[in-house]
Every structure is written in C-alpha cells, then in structure tokens.
C-alpha cells in the first residue's frame, strides 16, 4: 500500500515521536532566551539613557551590547516561528527548522571551542584574586559547556529526523 501525505490516518499511525518532543523543548528554550535578551536589552537601554553626554567610549560599548541583544532576539524569534510551524506541521517549517538546527549546531560548537580557549587563557593568569573569581565561575561555565556539547548531537539528530521520508509525510503540503 502506498502512503501519501494526504492519508487521513497518518497522524494516528505516527504515534509518539522524539523529534516532536525536541521541537517543543527547542521552542521553550528559545522563548526563555528571547525573554532574557529582551530584559538585558532593556537594562542596556536604561544604562545608555543615563550615560553622561561626553562618554562616547562607554556609549559605543553599550550600543554594541544592544545590537548583539537585538541580533540574538531576532534569532530566537526565527527559532520560535520555525518550531511553531513544525508543531503545526506546516511543510515550509520542516526545511527551515532543519536549517536552524544545523546553524545552531555550528554556532554552539564554535562558541564552545571559543569558551574553552578563553578559559585556558584565563587559567594561566597568576593573580590570586583572578584565580579566586575563576574558581567561583568554574561550575556554571562547565555546566554551560556540557549543555552545549550535549546540544550539538541532539540538534544534528533533529535535522536528520526532519529529513526522513516518514517524518516528511507527516507535514501538510503547501496549498497549491
């Protein structure tokens, strides 16, 4: 029997799928991070408004921070839209979320390696005060690096799953 994407019983047969659970989780994480970027951008904007008029060096740094917050917020919104489209099984969203997952893999791997190199550079400093601050920062940093290392293969798996024919058939065709 040939299964087509117009098969009304396809959803009943599809059952539980880990890729759907991961899509929901990615949506929740992107929503949380988006709210964090908004809060940080609001604080930076307030600091920028309270800055003295002649302080161009700090103003430039705050503008740079604000631009990064906005860029991360836009990226979080793209992830949210792609995840919502996949949850609603829109055909356009499958390829978008595959691309987003692969871009996130590259970004997380790059940031993890960069963070590791920064950690090694800071670890070589001989100042006792700096070493004490690094000791306090070590656990959250290691947790962040472990989460990034875990996220890369999980996101690669999600991108692979979204390309599988059995998953592709679960998405609605574009109205034509």
Given this model, what pLDDT does residue 120 score?
Answer: 79
pLDDT > 90: what percent of the chain?
57
Per-residue pLDDT reduced to its tens digit, 58-112: 889 999 999 999 999 999 999 999 999 999 999 999 999 999 999 999 999 999 9
Instruction: State both tokens at 132.
Output: 């004490």
Q: Contact, 10 vs 169, CB < 8 A?
A: yes
Burial label for 23, CB within 10 Å (0-12, 13-18, 19+), is buried
Beta strand residue intervals within the chain, DSSP E: none
* Secondary structure (3-state) at 52: coil
pLDDT of residue 136: 76
What is the model's pLDDT at position 1?
46
pLDDT in tens, 29-62: 999 999 999 999 999 999 999 888 888 888 899 9
Q: What is the mean pLDDT of residues 157-176?
A: 88
- Rounded to an integer, what is the distance from CA 133 to the centroid of its chain? 28
Mean pLDDT, all residues of the chain: 86
More confident residue, 16 or 161: 161
Instruction: Compute the distance between CA of residue 88 and CA of residue 42 in angstroms, rounded to an integer.
Output: 32
Which of the four pLDDT bands, split at 50, 70 and 90, describes residue 7?
low
- Residue written as tokens 């609605």? 172
Say yes or no to pLDDT of 26 above 90. Answer: yes
DSSP reduced 3-state for 55: coil
């Amino acid at each position: 029997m040939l299964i087509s994407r117009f098969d009304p019983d396809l959803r009943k047969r599809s059952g539980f799928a880990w890729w759907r659970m991961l899509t929901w989780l990615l949506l929740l994480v992107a929503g949380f991070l988006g709210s964090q970027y908004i809060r940080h951008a609001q604080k930076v904007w307030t600091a920028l408004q309270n800055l003295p008029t002649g302080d161009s060096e700090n103003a430039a740094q705050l503008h740079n921070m604000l631009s990064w917050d906005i860029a991360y917020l836009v990226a979080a919104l793209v992830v949210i839209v792609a995840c919502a489209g996949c949850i609603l099984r829109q055909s356009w969203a499958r390829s978008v979320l595959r691309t987003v997952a692969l871009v996130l893999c590259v970004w997380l791997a790059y940031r993890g390696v960069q963070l590791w190199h920064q950690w090694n550079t800071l670890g070589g400093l001989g100042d006792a005060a700096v070493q004490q601050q690094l000791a306090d920062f070590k656990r959250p940093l290691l947790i962040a690096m472990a989460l990034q290392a875990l996220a890369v293969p999980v996101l690669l798996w999600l991108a692979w799953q979204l390309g599988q024919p059995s998953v592709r058939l679960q998405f609605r065709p574009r109205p034509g």
